[in-house]
Structures are given as structure tokens and as C-alpha cells.
Amino acid sequence: MKTYLDCYPCFLRQALAAARLAEASEPQQKVILDRVLDLLKHIDLASTPPEIGDQVHRLVRQEIESGDPYRAVKEISTRRALALYPRLKALLAEADDPLEMAARLSIAGNIIDFGPVQKYDLWDTVERVLAQPFSVDDRAAFRESLDRVGKGAGTAPLLYLADNAGETVFDRLLIETLPVPVVYVVKGGPVLNDATREDAKAAGLDRVATIVDNGTNAMGTVLNRCSDDFRHLYNGAKMVIAKGQANYETLSDEGSKVFFLLQVKCPVIARDAGVPVGSIILKQG
Amino acid sequence: MKTYLDCYPCFLRQALAAARLAEASEPQQKVILDRVLDLLKHIDLASTPPEIGDQVHRLVRQEIESGDPYRAVKEISTRRALALYPRLKALLAEADDPLEMAARLSIAGNIIDFGPVQKYDLWDTVERVLAQPFSVDDRAAFRESLDRVGKGAGTAPLLYLADNAGETVFDRLLIETLPVPVVYVVKGGPVLNDATREDAKAAGLDRVATIVDNGTNAMGTVLNRCSDDFRHLYNGAKMVIAKGQANYETLSDEGSKVFFLLQVKCPVIARDAGVPVGSIILKQG
């Protein structure tokens, strides 16, 4: 997915939010915005938004000399999500269709995102997503694909591409419900509030999946920036679950083995997918 | 009121919205955004947001070679507001306190604003504002000031600084309720969807007030850019009603004869005024 002019204001907003989260001084914030203004003058609109967002967040990290401005926020997100885990597990235990329920919960968790969204109520989001119709609905293909992978189990695991810290807890519930072994893929280094290995372990993902990192701190999954090991794994996978907007933006042209589970949180993606902001999507690539 | 870093994304968003409203091509939109990026690198943060916004909108008008990209939008806004005029007039006729009702309606009309707000429902806004408590409430001082001006009627009229086209119709209802003669002040030329003389006349303001323009197309009321005639009028006025955010931003330090009537539509003004976004304000300067 290409970058739209509508993304410009959003990049500035995100840079400012990241700078403030890292407690950058007002003059530092100004320097950061000035650098983002320069950067935006020279971007290639054929790049995906996460590729530009990446440069923006790298610039912020450089300027405030922090490896991970979102560290504290990520820990809080994980703790809050873990506090809901027993209630979510109880919902699953009572569900007529646990797979559907778990997929919805995983999508609900996608609200934990410090890029496009400023504020959210986690439990309200769960209740909304459980009741909401899918705007893109490839649930049948998703089940078929899971069945096929289940039959060939052992030879090629299901890859699950993580999105944000805290959302990881919701991913764990889906993984606990999936009938096949899962490799849970996190970022190779900090970017925005994306989950790294540390964040995944804090959410207990190491108990239910094999955690690997993709070898890069690029947002989404930019295959040519990932490690050879990850690309090998990706190319061999028969099914990939890709969470969140950035994975959608970077993998939307990658074929039918990828299933995108996300909430549509920005108007640019809404336009690209042809659905309203606030939609929930389970889409086959 | 100074410009905050939070205004940067908003300036870009407004430039893009204005360009699209004028049906600028995609490459033209890109040129405009690139020019705004340059402009933002060199702004003085001590300027008020409308002073910067002014430069942004001037740049858009230059680039698309349109004197008034908001012409059609302003006409539609006025028509829609006029269509409500009989219903609003009926509300006033039934009101226990017509002055309070008219002040609230005038504030409700302030939702018609193509700067900070994207979408709104006019009648929903009327109902909300009629029921909503004031977040800043100088109604008593407002009435006292009106009484004083009433007693000295004829010597110095009340100045009413207009904001947007369409909102003009709601201003007309307040002016029809005020017990004193009013000079209704519009912009000297087009900027954003601000009311000019033409817009005021289309809303029937010429029937209830003397219309003058302030001699500039600056947003808000930037006194040192207004005409000598207007400044003379302003300095002689005993009471000024100033509508909307831009007038608040540019006149907030201009003393106690100014009464601001507005809805708070952006987080920056909310922070400056110490109230939440969505607040309604009747504030003595």
C-alpha cells in the first residue's frame, strides 16, 4: 500500500507524541518536528506508510537518544491486558464457537496502538468487537486454511506476525485456541509500541508458541529488511496470520496464504480497504 | 495566544483539505504540502495560530490560483443555516430567556467551521449546545455590559466580530434579540470559510445590522493588519462580541470589553482555556 498525502499530518503527530512520551523538552520537540518536515519533503510516495513511519520514529529515537521511548507504555499495556486475561479466558470457555471468539478477541486487542489511536477503553473495545459484523469477512477461508495446515502439522508451522505490546495477550488467547503449532514473530528491535521478544515473553507467549524475531525494527513486515532466517521461515509457511495495520500496509500484496486480522483505525487504510474507520477485518491476502 | 507544536499537523491537514475542496490535482496537492512544510520550518511560534493559518491558506490560494476555494462551501453553509432559520426563530419565540437562548444558538452556529472540524450535524449541535453547561460562564457580566451599552445607545455601537459563513445566520438571531444597535464586522477578503460582506448579506445580516469589513483577510482579528477605519471603530466600542476560535486566539489579551462566544473545537485552544474539547464558552476578555 502506498503512502497518501493524508499521512503527512499523521507522521508529524506521531513524532510529537513519541517525543513527549520520552519527555523530550519543548526545544527538542521543535528540533524533531523540523527534522520530520525535512524528511517529508524527500519521501517517496511509492513507499508504504510504515516505511516512512519507520524513518520518523528512528529520527525521534536518535534525537532524544532513547533506544525505546515506548518502553514504559508497552509494559503498562501488557500489564493491563494481562489483568483482563482471566475474564477473556472465561468468555472463551463459554463460547459456542471458540475459534471465532478468539479471532475477535485478537482483533479487539489491536486497539492497543500508539500510532493512529490516542485513547481507548480496552473492555469497551472487547464488547464492541464481539458484537460487530466483519467488514471484510474471510472467516470460511481462514477455517479451511487452518484445517489444511492442521493436516500437514509438523512440516511447516503457522506464522503469527505480532503487532503491539499488550495486544500480545489477546494473540495468546487466539494461539491457545488454534489447533496447530505457532511461531510467533516479533520485531528485531524497538519501534513505536510494537512487540519485541521481551514484550512477548512478558505476555506469556513463550508458553504457547515459539517466539522468533524478524531481524529488523521496521514497522509492519518489510520483507527485504527482515533477516534471511525469517524470510526462509516466511517463504516456507503455508499460513500466515498478520496482525494490525502496519502488517496490512506492508504485506497486502503478498498472496493468499496471509490472513490479516485488524481494526481499521485510520482513514487512509479505510479508503484502501474500502471500509469505514472502526471496521473489523478478517481478510485473506 | 501563541502557536503550539500541536498546530503543525493541523496546518498540513487544513492545507490538504483546502486544496481538495478547490479540486487541486494530486501533484498540485503535493506541491502545496511541500510548500507548507517549508513554511512551517520558518514560522515564529510567538505568532498566533490564525496568523500562521493565514499564510498557509494564502499559499493554497496562490497555488491553485483561486481567490476563494471555499466559495461554494460557504454558499451551501449559508443555505443550510437559512433553512433552519424558521425553526430557530420558533425556539426563540418560546424561550423563557430569549437572550440566553440566542447566545446559545449563536454558539451552536460556531460548529460551521472548515478549519478544525471535519463533519458535523447542525441540528444535533443546536440541541447539544442548548442543553450543555457553559465551561466558562460570564453570562452575568455579558448582561451587565449589554445594559450599560443600552443606556449609552447611539454614541458607540456594539461591535459583533463574525466568524464563518452560515454561522452568520445564527449571529443574526442573536443580533435580532440584542437590545442595542450592532455593527457586524466581516473579513475584508476571503480566507478559509470566514464570512465576507457577500456572505453576511446572503444570510440577511444587512437587515439587522450595519455591515462593515475589517479591511483584511487575516483570520481572526489581527488588529495591526486591520484598516484604520476598523481600528478606530474597535477602539471606540464599549462592547465587542467576538465569535469563534480565531477571534479568541487573536484577541484573548485585548481586555474586558470583549466577550468571546465559541465552541472549543481543538485541543490546543482547550488547553489554553483550561477546558475540554467540545466545551461551550461565553468568556469576558
Q: What pLDDT does residue A157 have?
A: 83
The pLDDT score that the predictor gives to residue A253 is 85
How many angstroms separate the CA atoms of B45 and B49, rounded?
Answer: 8
What pLDDT, on the 0 to 100 scale, is given for residue A153?
53
Q: Please indicate if any CB of chain B lies within 8 Å of the CB of A45.
A: yes
> Does an H or E element contain A185, and which?
strand A182-186
DSSP labels, A247-265: HHHHHTTS-TTEEEEEE--
Nearest to B261 by CA among B134, B91, B166: B134
Asked if the C-beta of A2 comes within 8 angstroms of chain B's C-beta atoms, the answer is no
Per-residue model confidence (pLDDT) at position B1: 83
Q: Is B282 helix (H, G, I), strand (E, B) or coil?
A: strand
DSSP type of residue A189: S
- Test A26 with B5 for CB contact under 8 angstroms: yes
Question: Are B20 and B118 a contacting pair, CB within 8 Å?
Answer: no
Q: Which residues pair with A259 in a beta bridge?
A: A241, A284
Going A220 to A224 to A228 to A231, the CA torsion angle's sign is: positive
pLDDT value at residue A252:
87
CATH architecture of B71-284: 3-Layer(aba) Sandwich (3.40)
pLDDT at B240: 97
Instruction: Taking residues B187-207, report their average pLDDT.
Output: 96
Query: CA B112 → CA A13, A189, B81, B174, B175, distances in Å?
Result: 25, 46, 9, 16, 18
**Mean model confidence pLDDT for chain B:** 93
Q: Does residue B190 contact residue B67 with C-beta atoms inside 8 Å?
A: yes
The pLDDT score that the predictor gives to residue A255 is 87
**Helix or strand holding residue A15 (H, E):** helix A7-21
Instruction: Provide, as residue numbers in chain B, all residues whose Cβ is less than 8 Å from the Cβ of A45.
Output: 30
pLDDT at A154: 56
**Is some CB atom of chain A closer than 8 A to the CB atom of B277?**
no
- The mean per-residue pLDDT over the stretch B82-111 comes to 96
**Do A16 and B8 count as a contact with CB atoms less than 8 A apart?**
yes
Interface test with B, best of A14, A40, A63, A271 (most B CBs within 10 A): A40
Using left for φ > 0, alpha for ψ between -120 and 50, and beta otherwise, residue A207 falls in alpha
Which of A5, A6, A33 is nearest residue B5 as measured by Cβ atoms? A33
As a whole-number percent, the residues of chain B with pLDDT over 90 amount to 82
Put simply, the chain A residues between 207 and 236 with a CB less than 8 A from any chain B CB are none
Q: Does B151 touch chain A (CB under 8 A)?
A: no
Report phi then psi at B169, rounded to 5: -65, -40
User: Residue A285: what pLDDT?
Assistant: 92
pLDDT of residue A116: 65
Q: Which of A3, A7, A13 to mutate to test the interface with B (most CBs of B within 10 A)?
A: A13
The domain spans of chain A are 7-64, 71-284
Window 6-35 of B, Cβ < 8 Å to A: 6, 8-10, 12-13, 16, 26, 29-30, 33-34
Would you place residue B151 in the very low, low, confident or very high pLDDT band (cuts 50, 70, 90)? confident
Q: B100 pLDDT exceeds 60?
A: yes
Give the one of A10, A16, A38 whose C-beta lies nearest to B5's C-beta: A16
Cα–Cα distances in angstroms (integers) from residue B41 to residues A25, A30, A138, B24, B53, in the given order: 18, 10, 46, 24, 14
Q: Please give the grid coordinates belonging to residue B248.
A: 479568541
Mind telling me how many Å the CA of A245 is from chain B's nearest CA? Answer: 21
Chain-chain contact of B37 with A37 (C-beta, under 8 angstroms): yes
pLDDT of residue A272: 87
Angle between helices A167-177 and A98-108 (to 10 degrees): 170
Using CA atoms, how far apart are residues A214 and A228, in angstroms rounded to an integer? Answer: 9
Residue (of B96, B92, B23) closest to B64 by Cα position = B23
Q: What ipTM was predicted for this assembly?
A: 0.81
pTM: 0.84
- For B65-94, what is the mean pLDDT? 93
Residue B156 has pLDDT above 90, yes or no: no
Rounded distance, CA B144 to CA B179, Å? Answer: 12
The answer to whether the CB atoms of B34 and A45 lie below 8 A apart is no
Those residues of chain A that have pLDDT short of 50 are: none
CA–CA separation, A169 vs B96, rounded Å? Answer: 56
